[in-house]
Each structure stands twice: as structure tokens, then as C-alpha cells.
Amino acid sequence: MRTKLYVGLMAAGISAAMLGGCGGGDEAPPAQQSTPQQSAPAQTQPAQPAQPAAGDQAAAGDAGGQQEEQFEIRRRLVDATAAQEDWVPELSSQPIDNVADTLKLAQQAERAGRLHEGDGNALSLYLSILDANPDNADAKAGVDGIVEKLVAQGEDSLSRGRFNDAARLLPVVTKLRPDDEAVKALQNKIEAGREIALQIAQAEQMAASGNVVTPDGNNAAAVYRSILARYPDNTAAQEGLAKLESDLIARATAAAEAGNYAESDSLLADAGKVRPGSQSVQNASTRIVEMREGAAGNLEQRIDAAINAGQFDQAESLLGQLEGVSAQGKAVDDLRDKIRNARAYASMRPGQSFSDALRAGGNGPEMVVIPTGSFTMGSPSGEADRKTNEGPTHRVTFSRGFALARTEVTVGQFRTFANATSYYGTAANSGGSSIYDERSGSMADKSGIDWRNDHAGKTADANLPVIHVSWVDAKAYADWLSEQTGKKYRLPSESEFEYALRAGAQTRYPWGDSDPTRVVGNLTGDGDRSASRRNWVNAFKKYDDGFWGPAPVRSFEANRFGLYDMSGNVSEWVEDCWHDSYNRAPADGTAWVNPGCVQHVIRGGSWASAPDQTRSAFRLTSSAGTVNPRLGFRVARDL
């Protein structure tokens, strides 16, 4: 009984070359994606490979054909293994003259790994002994050992996805030990393996066309997971998932390196769906975040440099790039605010104070950055004591910030200017100004009075607001500051003054709609007394601020914008020409100026103003050369 050993594969029409692509441990290349109707194949009828879409055919080229060919090889292999013939051993041609010697040869062959194939293999030697002596216990034990090892090989081949290797062993062990439980178990697994082999081919096909983790669940990862749900130790499915994940991580990393962070995020998210909780994905995410942080840091530095150079359009463009790079929305928002502030406030911030250096030495007035915003200018028609020139009310919007002096210009500050330029001033040139005359209790003209005097004609202290100055004097001082600092100083516009005086309020007075209930500034109160104990006839009831005449600057609390004496102390010149209504008034906060005008606007109440003249919307007019002891000014600066 010496017939030839064979396993039936050649008889089934599977050539050795064809087996090279799907057996013997070699992985078949992935095939094209299946159609939506192609689900996991049934055991009795393998699914056919899908054809590539028409738009993909040129790009797929020969690779697509090779993928379909490999899928067909797998399918034919599964069909062939289902029809294999029984295995018949090729017995050793060596004569059995000495059983003991033959047994030793068999054991040597077994230890060398020549179990059942090739000349002098262990199984043929054991069977030769049993052919001569069917009851030889050592040979029977040898055959049992060979079967055990072949079953183990079959199990290992199946776990690695090498279905054809396991299938070649099945006829051998089935013929030798058909009733062995391990053999039956292997046979059952191979029966199931036919389906697994097609599913793995289908998964490879899906992965090759990009169908890795599509939301509909019909994707490569889902196929691999369905295999592992039934066979948790299936190495092929495990390795398939690992490869899907690895490929997605590699593509995500490459996209990040190219700066395509949205694509990188999407690919990394897909990788996280392949094997949820995977450390590899977490590690890749950390690496990509570090890459993004590095790129974001570089862009942030470039944005800062553009802002500092005043190149705001370039900063906005770089910010657009940063939005696609930075994973930290707050950093982007902060830079957006910084650009907005730089445009509006020249890289300063609302409420910030500064003093520009003067070329002649020292510093100019302390300036405060006023926030951008809108307000309704003027008084509503129903407001008590309203004048017709305070309307119509209109909305004024400040899209760019500006700076306003924290206090009125002081005698000391004006002296610095006058000494540096030998400036005399309007009052000195015209012979004098008016003062408060204690004897008559009224204002009276007096010669020899100029900006160096106080409201009573005495020498003024340096920290008092400068008075006896005209609009021309105020303008000359602002122009000198511009020349000394290289910055644009000017008188505030009328709308800037009212906006800063109201500081967010729309009430009758800056502090509210009724008489003040606490000291808020240097106003006329019925408790005020002059040096000779005179009092005001028209004044705020139950109010006493302790001053008759201008008070030193900063003697009272600042308003919400950080400005002192916007209402009270002295009234102030503004840039605008006088108009008897707000019809056609600018809505952007700029001064309303007519070339050659001689009448200018005065805003804010003074130490001697009646209560109705202290209202937020109250306005007066006077010629540009007017001087008196109730009138001073403060400066504004463009940012």
C-alpha cells in the first residue's frame, strides 16, 4: 500500500504560482472597495469583487486589476479547499529490516521538523513501521504526536490568516485521526475560515478604496471587528485593524507636516475609531499637537511683529492662517482683540494712561485712552431746561479710540509752553481779562490779567486749571505739543467731549437726573461761600463742595473713564465751530469745522455755572478770542 501523497490543491486547479499570493504566509494585496450591496459573504457563495468607479479607473490602473486578481485567487482557493480529496500517505521506500532503527530515524526527523512532507519524513517512517507491525505502540504514539503538532500548526495558520496552509493540513490529520476532538475542532474552524478568508479579502478591498471607517458601518474596520467578535484571537483581523490605524496615523501626520491641520484632525479622528482607546493614536495626537503648537507659536510671533509695525492687514491675514493651525481658540481670540485694539487704540488699551516726552525736556499732560463705542448726543425733547441748540439727538459712533487729557491743562503746564515759545497769550495782548469782583459780587473787566492769574486776579498756583485763555491760546498749546512729541495733539471735538463727559450715561447730568446727593465736583451749591461770605442765588440745593472759584485739578473723584472735572471747575474750549443745531452734524466723532469760522463751542459747567448749565448736553458759543475766569481747556490726542 504505497500510494503517492498529495493534498488535492493541484487537482483543484490552484497552481503553485497562484498560491504564492495568498498562501504560505504571503498576504494578498488589497482589492477595490465593494459596492454598497456587497456585505459579508455567505459560506456557500463567495461575494464577487466590486469594480472601481468610472472616475477612478484611470487612477487605479494596473493596481486595481492586480487587487481584483488577488481577490479572485482567494475566492478560488476557498472553493478548492472545500473539494479536496482524501490524503493518502507516501510510505517510506526504506525496507523495515530493523524497527528500532527506523523508529530512531522517525524520531530524528520529527525533532528536525520534517513531520509529513519530503523524503524521510517522520510520519511516513512511523506509518511504514505500522504497515509492517500495526500494533507497534511507539509508532502509534509517534503518529499521535505528529497529528497533535499538525493540528497546532493548523490552528496557528488560521490565527494568522493563512487559511490555505491550515487547509492543506486538514486532509492529513482527518485521515489519520478522524475521531480526534482536536482534529474535529480544526475541521470546524477551517469550515468557518472559508467565510473569514473572504471577509478579510473584502476588508482589504474596502481599505484600498478608502472605505475605512465610514459612518454607515459598511467599512473595513467594521468587517475586521465582526471577525474578532466571533474569533477574538484571529491574528489576521487584529493585524488588519492595526494596519488601518497605522495607515491613517501616517496620513494624518503627513497632512500635519504639510500644514493641512483640518485634514489631519479628520484623519486622526478616523484613526481613533478603528481601535478606540489606542495608545498609538494618543501618541500620534500628542505629536501632532506639538507640531501645531510650534507652527502656532511661529505665527503668533509674526502676528505680534506685524501689529508692532502697524501692518494690520498682514496681521489679519496671518490670523486667518492661525485659526487653521491653533487648537486653542482663546489664543486666537486674544490676538484678534489685540489686532482690533491696535487698529482702534494704536496697541494701547482703553483706560490706559500715558505721558509723551517733550523734546524740550519733561513730559506732556497725562492722557487717558478713551474706549470706542456709541452714544446719543444732545438732549431729548422732554428734558427740563433743554435748549433748542441741543438737538436733534443723533447717534455718534467712535470706531477708533482717542486719548483725552486726564485733567484740564494747568497753569504749570501752560507756563512750560509759554516759557519755551515766549508766548504771551490773547489776554496779555488785548490788555486784560475779567475776574470775579468780591466787592460787587459779579464779574468785572480788569487790565493786566492773563493766564498767570486766578479767578480773583491773584497769581495762580501751578496746579490750578489755566484760565483767561482763548480758543486761539488753547489751539497754540495743542500745536506745540504736537511739535514737541511728534504726535497729533488737538482740542477735542464737541462729540468727543460729550461722550467722555457722559462716560456711558444718558442722564440729564453726568451723575444722574436730579441734584447731586454727594460731592461730585466743583459746582455752584447753596452751601458755597466767597471770601466775603457771598452765596449763589441759583445753585444746587444742599450742596457744598468747599470751593469758590476753580479748584486744583484732581480735587474731586474721576468719572467712569478716569477723567477729572469734566463737569464743573472750568468750562472748556472744543475744536468745533458753532452751529445752532445738530442738523447734518458728523456721526463719526470728528469735529464739525467750517473754514474761517470765528465762533467756537464751549462745553461743560464751571465753578460759577447755574445748575441748568451743568447738564450733560448744555453748550455755549463764543468768539475764538474770548477770555474769562470760568473758561479753560484740555487736549485730545489721536492714537
- Provide the angle, in degrees to the nearest 10, between the axes of the packed helices 261-274 and 312-325: 10
Q: Residue 86: its pLDDT value, please?
A: 61
Domain membership of residue 228 (yes or no) is no
Q: By the 8 A CB rule, do 623 and 563 touch?
A: no
Cα separation of 260 and 88, whole Å? 62
Helix residue spans in 258-275 (DSSP H):
261-274
Phi–psi pair at 386, nearest 5 degrees:
-65, 140
**333 shares a domain with 192:** no
Q: By the 8 A CB rule, do 320 and 326 touch?
A: no
**570 shares a domain with 448:** yes
- Domain finish residue from 192, 209, 226: 209
State pLDDT tens for residues 573-612.
999 999 999 999 999 999 999 999 999 999 999 999 999 9
Q: Is the dihedral of CA 137, 140, 145, 148 positive or negative?
A: negative
**Of the candidates 53, 48, 55, which has an alpha carbon nearest to the alpha carbon of residue 71?**
48
- Domain finish residue from 307, 341, 375: 341
Domain membership of residue 356 (yes or no) is no
State pLDDT tens for residues 518-562.
999 999 999 999 999 999 999 999 999 999 999 999 999 999 999
| Cell numbers linked to 241 | 485593524
The single-letter code of the amino acid at 41 is: P
**164 shares a domain with 18:** yes
N-term to C-term CA, the chain:
109
**292 shares a domain with 194:** no
**293 shares a domain with 169:** no
Q: Residue 397: its pLDDT value, please?
A: 97
pTM: 0.59
**416 shares a domain with 314:** no
Helix residue spans in 82-180 (DSSP H):
99-111, 122-132, 137-159, 163-176
Domain membership of residue 459 (yes or no) is yes
Phi–psi pair at 305, nearest 5 degrees:
-65, -40
Degrees, nearest 5: CA angle 554-558-560: 165
Collapsed DSSP state (helix, strand, coil) of residue 204: helix
- Domain finish residue from 156, 181, 209: 209
Strand partners, 631: 571
State pLDDT tens for residues 476-513.
999 999 999 999 999 999 999 999 999 999 999 999 99
Q: Residue 97: its pLDDT value, please?
A: 73
Cα separation of 481 and 358, whole Å? 8
- Please provide the average confidence, as pLDDT, over all residues in the chain: 85
Instruction: Say which CATH number the domain at 433 has.
Output: 3.90.1580.10
Domain membership of residue 235 (yes or no) is no
- Residue 59 reports pLDDT greater than 70: no
Cα separation of 517 and 540, whole Å? 10
Range of the domain at 377: 367-638
- Provide the angle, in degrees to the nearest 10, between the axes of the packed helices 329-345 and 312-325: 170
Collapsed DSSP state (helix, strand, coil) of residue 18: helix
Looking at residues 384-402, what average pLDDT do you find?
96
Q: By the 8 A CB rule, do 103 and 139 touch?
A: yes
**121 shares a domain with 5:** yes
Q: How many CB atoms lie within 10 A of CB 141?
A: 11
**383 shares a domain with 329:** no
| Cell numbers linked to 25 | 504566509
**553 shares a domain with 613:** yes
Collapsed DSSP state (helix, strand, coil) of residue 195: helix
Cα separation of 527 and 319, whole Å? 59
DSSP character for 633? -
**521 shares a domain with 399:** yes
How many separate domains does the chain show?
Answer: 3
Q: Residue 558: its pLDDT value, please?
A: 97
**Helix, strand, coil fractions of the chain, as percent rounded to 5:** 45, 10, 45
**Band of pLDDT at residue 192, cut at 50, 70 and 90:** confident
Domain membership of residue 348 (yes or no) is no
Sequence-separated (6 or more) residues with CB below 8 Å from residue 434: 443, 444, 445, 446, 449, 627, 628, 629
Cα separation of 388 and 380, whole Å? 10
Residue whose cell numbers read 466775603: 532
Cα separation of 293 and 220, whole Å? 33
Domain membership of residue 429 (yes or no) is yes
**552 shares a domain with 410:** yes
State pLDDT tens for residues 102-152.
999 999 999 999 999 888 899 999 998 998 889 999 999 999 999 999 999
Cα separation of 166 and 150, whole Å? 9
Cα separation of 367 and 351, whole Å? 9
**Band of pLDDT at residue 31, cut at 50, 70 and 90:** very low
Look at 63 and 239; give whichever has higher pLDDT. 239
**Band of pLDDT at residue 249, cut at 50, 70 and 90:** very high
**503 shares a domain with 445:** yes
Domain membership of residue 359 (yes or no) is no
Task: Give burial (CB, 10 Å; 0-12/13-18/19+) of 477.
Answer: buried
Domain membership of residue 128 (yes or no) is yes
The single-letter code of the amino acid at 410 is: T
**Band of pLDDT at residue 91, cut at 50, 70 and 90:** low
Q: Residue 12: its pLDDT value, please?
A: 26
